[in-house]
Structure formats: C-alpha cells, structure tokens
Chains A and B, each alone.
Chain A
Amino acid sequence: MLKMHNIRKSYRTDTIETHALRDFSLQVNEGEFVSVTGPSGSGKTTFLNIAGLLETPTGGQYLLDGEDVSSLNDRDRSRLRNEKIGFIFQGFNLIPDLNLFDNIDVPLRYRGFNAKERKKRIEKVLEQVGLSARAKHLPAQLSGGQQQRVAIARALAGEPRFLLADEPTGNLDSLMARQVMELLEFINEWGTTIVMVTHDPDLARRAHRNIQIVDGQVSDLQHGTVGAAREIA
C-alpha cells in the first residue's frame, strides 16, 4: 500500500538546513492500522505530509499502491490525494462558512462526481457518523467531537483506501476521543488502511502496529508481527 525507502526531507533557510526526515523507510500494508508516535519535532507530521502527497521529499523513493509518486506533478498528486487518501486533522479543519453537507461535498467536487452521486455519498457518510440531522448546520454549531466526526465523514466520502490521521483526538476530551477512536477502528475493519499520528500511548497501542519516529528516523517497533519498518530501516 505505502512504501517509503530512504526518504529525506530537509528545510532550508538562508542560514540553517533542518533535516526533518533522514533515510526514512517504512512499509504499510493494505488494511493495516498503524500508529505513529514520537516526540514533538521528530518528523511525524512531515512524514504524514509526504505520505499524503502534500509535500515532496527531498530524496528517496515513495511508492503508493506500487506507483512511484516522488516525481509526479502537482495535478497528478492532487488527483491521487483526492482519490486514494483521506485526511483527518487534530484541528478538524472544516471550512467554517460551509455547512456540513457542503464541507463533505468539497472533495467530491474535485473528484468530478455529479450532483446525484455526491448527494448519495454525503448522506451515506453523514449517517455513518450519526449526523444526518445536522447536515445544514455550520461547524461552529457542533461540539468538537461532532466536528471531528464530520471531518471523518468528509475523509470517507470519496471512499479512500488510505486514511491519514494527524492526532485526531488531540482536541477532544476522553469520551469524545474514545468515540472517534472506535469510529476509526470500525472504518479500518471495513478495509481502509489507517496511519494515525498520536501522542497518546493508549491510542497507539490500539493500532495493529506502532512506529516511533525520533530525529526523523524510524527508531522502534513496539508491537506487531512483521517488522516491515525495521526490516527496511
């Protein structure tokens, strides 16, 4: 599903060059639920951005579904992102002046679905996250947990095979966090591959496999059967 080999990412200013990822290698298989942990500034989010095709690596090879995406142009990367990848963010990132229906509609618009198909998908995912009755509400009218469920619904509407979650429970209380986590596990059971960055060790343990990133490199494999990451690293 996802295979990174010797990925490097550095940010350069006039005086300083920062290496966010160094010889970073990782493999995530179809249907896996992988948690990624590590201290702040270790490169978790950079990894997630590269995995989600929001940033390009400085070097190395990234295969997504067997396709080398390292050298794709912006249009092709956007298309792949739209078709194969769903994002869930810590801050929900809903568009504040669009209601729930229109927020979920955004990725479907870029996908080119017709109005009927979009409506069908939006209603389906809203039902899945239990917010059908709130379709016309604005994000600000919902609780944090509800907003994150909308964000999940938006990520799922395009039926991606790969879900990237960046601290999806970071802004939620424990009850809401548990509900969101259960929703993610449910989604994973239905076959969606999930990579979740988290600071919460309890949540990380609930994944099939935990990857720890330290100083831009995979440093440890806490549990799971085959150490794909370790093997490659």
Chain B
Amino acid sequence: MIGYYISLAMRSLRGTPILSTLMIAAIAVGVGACMTVLTLNYMMSQNALAHKDDVLYAVQLDGWDPNEAADTANELPWQLTYQDATALLRSDIPTRQVAMHRFGFTITLDESEMRPFTADARITTADFFGLFDVPFLFGGTWNADADFSPVQQVVLSKATNDKVFGGENSVGKTINLNGEPFTVVGIIDHWNPSPKVYDLNNNPFADSEEIYIPFGLHRKFEIYSWGNTNGWSHSNEEGYEGFLQGESVWVQYWVELDTAAQKEKYEEYLTGYIRQQKEQGRFQRPLKFALSKPSEWLVLNEVLRDDNRVLGWLSLAFLLVCVVNAVALLLAKFLRKAPEAGVRRALGASRNAIFIQHLIESSCIGVLGGLLGILLSLLGLGGVRQLAMGRIDQIASMDWLMVLAAIGLAVLASLLAGLYPAWRISRTNPSIYLKTQ
C-alpha cells in the first residue's frame, strides 16, 4: 500500500500546484536555513583524530606568570616554551611525541622557470607523521636525529609536489627554501583534517601545511613562529638565543601514550620535571599540567563556540516556525479533500489507512522540501564562504552525512507538520461528506 499512497500523494501534489509549492517552499526555507547553520556547527565539531582519542594528548605546563593565571579555559598556556619542549623531547616514555609550530618559506627551484611562492610550513619533529597518521605517497619522514640537529630535509604535501615536481616521485630531489637547499625525503598524500586538531591556536579551519621541516633547524635559520607567541616576562639573554631560552610559549606539544600505565608514568615524569624547574626558579605557580585528549582539546579551545550553538538553536526555532506554517497549509489542503477521505472510508479504508495515506503525502512534501532545502543550504554555505573569504572553505561545505541529515530533517519536519492534519482528516465523520458531496 505504501507505493499506492505515494502515487496518490504525487497525484495530490500535482492537483494543487500552488498550495503544494508553498508547502514545499516553507519546508525548504526552514531546512535550508537550519542546515546551513547545523552544517557549519557539525563541521566545526568534527574530531579528525577521534580514532586515536584514547592515546593522543596535548601537553600543557603551567610555567606562566606567578601573579596571574594564563587566560585560557583551563588557566594553562596553550603552548610550551622552546626550552620545555626540547627538554620533554628527551623523554623516552611516550610512544611518539611531537613539538611543532607554524612557519613559512619561499620556495624556489634551481634551473626552473617556476615562479617563487610562499608556502605554509610546519616545523616539527619526525614523529609528527606517525603520531597524526599522516599518509605518505612517496618516501617517509626524516631521521629522528634531525629533531635536534640542523638537517636540511623536507617533506612536501601532495599539492606542493604536484605544483613543483608535476606529481612525480621527487624523493631525493632538491628544492630551495628561503634560498637554502633542502632534500625531499617524503611526499604525503592528501591530508587535510578539519578542524586542524593538532593546531587550534591559529585558524582551526585553515588548510594543512604545504611543507614540513625538521625541528632541529631553529638555531641555524633563526626560525621564529608564524603562529601565536605569548609571553609574560623578558628573557635575560639577548637575540635569538634569548628568544629560545625565554618564557614565551610558542611550541605546540603532543604525545602518544598507548596505555594507562604509560600515561601514569608520563604524568609522574611531568611532575618531576616541573619540580626540577621550580628548584631552578621557574614554574613559580602551583604545580599544574594537563594532558588533553583531542576531543577534550577541541572543547577547551572552544572550536565550536557558544554563539554557534545558540545560532544552531535559533535555526531550529526558525524551522519550527516554517513547520507551523506548513501545518496550516496542510490542514487547509487535507480538509479540502475530506470528501474524498469520506468516500475512501465508505469503501473500506480504516482511520489508520487514511492517517497513513496523508502522513505519506506529508513525507513526500518533506522529501521535496528537503531536496530544495539542500540546494538552499549549498547556496547559504556558498554565501558564508564568500563572507569568510576562503578562511573556512573546509567547513562551509556539505558531506553526504549532512545531505542525508537534511532530507531526514525535512521528512521529520513534514511528518510533524502532517501529524495533526492527517489525524484530523482520519477522525472526520465520513457520512457528513457522503451525503453532501
């Protein structure tokens, strides 16, 4: 009977084109507005590291101003100082550990007509690729020695390799970064987690970096951070060494701890490290550190802000208004067809049959409204992308799950809208219409 009801629904929609269009438009506008906001919220709240949520931890240490806590959600600086990061790197407790920050280079190629261009770079340690499950297309990461010594090697993103070397296996070839030759040791496949869980200090919705450079090159090239650098005191030393040994925090730090015992041991290690630093006059605040899972890290960094959530609820309220409009339109449409329902009842349709028939008609309106709503959502997201000027391209787009969610939401909305009108017509006394039709 479902097929029969669907064919009746489509016939009924064709029979009242203006009213049907109004109902479909009411659902579509509500769904379109709602899905635009919900898609943004959904994409913002994604955890690209969910599969390693139980083993990865962002490390925070409280070496901040003794007189004032850091202005963060958990009152710990988001990043570490260079000296703490390099000290922690010497621990052999974590399975993998990564110290890193954002940077940029100008890329040139010898004996090439390629125009120089600036590429986003990540200065990081060798474990970066393994810890974050970055897939390699060719080659691999550099030797771990490069985390502490100036080794001029580079890993390229697929897009950069396509741009510079036409997509061929460029491992072993040389490119110039800020005029210095670097040997390509690896090409990673497409990898672009959004939000960029591993670096939420900068734009969490920016694309992943185009090149990756060993952490041991800081002193050689006097690399500063292109990301956030925060400090609360001046270094005693002057120049770049003073920057490295100062209390400014600019290095992001992640560890992989596969077992609870390993985590406990690492916590003991951090406690010991902070106590040791206290003895040396640093870390004057109460002993405090944090190991946050990726999911916790996203919440702490408020990637999905409260105003986004409020906007989500408002969009649902708007959808509700559209549903109420659809209820009125459906009621008018269904009651106009009450005589037909009366005839059907006389011919053997039960109240439930009439109810289901009209609820299916509502669902058909919902599906059509949902499809139109998806188009409106895509338009809305396109508008958001234009407004953000490319900064949030990754999240202002719909995946299949959200497309299905849009249709589901539309059907749910139309079912809600159709419940009362369908119930009303199924409860109508058929004899009234049979005599007067």
Contact = CB atoms under 8 A, between A and B. Distances in A.
B388 interface: no
A55 B428 CA distance: 11
Contacts of A91: 434-437
B435 to A, nearest CB: 6
A94 B340 CA distance: 8
Interface of B: 1, 4, 11-12, 15, 339-340, 342-353, 429-431, 434-437
A49 B347 CA distance: 13
18 contacts: A49-B431, A52-B346, A54-B431, A74-B350, A74-B351, A75-B352, A78-B348, A78-B350, A79-B350, A81-B348, A90-B435, A91-B436, A95-B340, A97-B11, A98-B11, A107-B348, A109-B1, A166-B434
Contacts of A94: 343
Nearest to A55: B431
Given A78-B353, A109-B1, A89 B347 contact: no
Contact of B347 (A45, A55, A97, A107): A107
B346 A54 contact: yes
Contacts of B435: 45, 89-91, 166
A227 to B, nearest CB: 29
B11 A89 contact: no
Contacts, number: 75
Contact of A82 (B340, B342, B348, B434): B348
Give the residue among B343, B346, B353, B430 with the most A Cβ atoms within 10 A.
B346
Contacts of B339: 93
A154 B346 contact: no
A33 interface: no
A128 to B, nearest CB: 18
Given A45-B435, A54-B430, A89-B437, A97 B15 contact: yes
Given A91-B436, A95-B343, A110-B353, 11 more contacts: A54-B430, A78-B351, A81-B347, A83-B348, A87-B346, A89-B435, A89-B437, A93-B343, A106-B347, A110-B348, A158-B348
Contacts of B353: 78, 110
Contacts of A89: 434-435, 437
Contacts of A93: 339, 342-343, 346, 434, 437
A185 to B, nearest CB: 23
B344 A106 contact: yes
Contact of A45 (B346, B352, B431): B431
Interface string A68-79: 000000110011
Interface centre among A81, A83, A90, A166 (most CB of B within 10 A): A81
Contact of A54 (B4, B12, B434): B434
B300 to A, nearest CB: 57
B350 A75 contact: yes
A179 B82 CA distance: 104
A97 B4 CA distance: 15
Given A97-B11, A109-B1, A109-B4, A82 B347 contact: yes
A111 interface: yes
Closest 10 A/B residue pairs (Cβ): A82-B348, A78-B350, A110-B348, A107-B347, A49-B431, A93-B343, A54-B431, A91-B437, A87-B346, A75-B350
B347 A54 contact: no
Contact of B348 (A49, A79, A90, A166): A79
Contacts of A90: 435
Contacts of A95: 340, 343-344
A110 B1 CA distance: 8
Contact of B346 (A81, A83, A158): A81
B345 to A, nearest CB: 7
Nearest to A97: B15
B336 to A, nearest CB: 12
Contacts of A79: 348, 350
Interface string A162-180: 0000100000000000000
A97 B436 CA distance: 18
- Select the residue from A45, A89, A93, A98 with max chain B CB neighbours within 10 A: A93
A95 B345 CA distance: 12
Given A89-B434, A95-B340, A97-B15, A54 B345 contact: yes
Interface-centre pick from A49, A78, A79, A94 (highest chain B CB count, 10 A): A78
A171 to B, nearest CB: 11
Nearest to A80: B348
B349 A110 contact: yes
B433 to A, nearest CB: 8
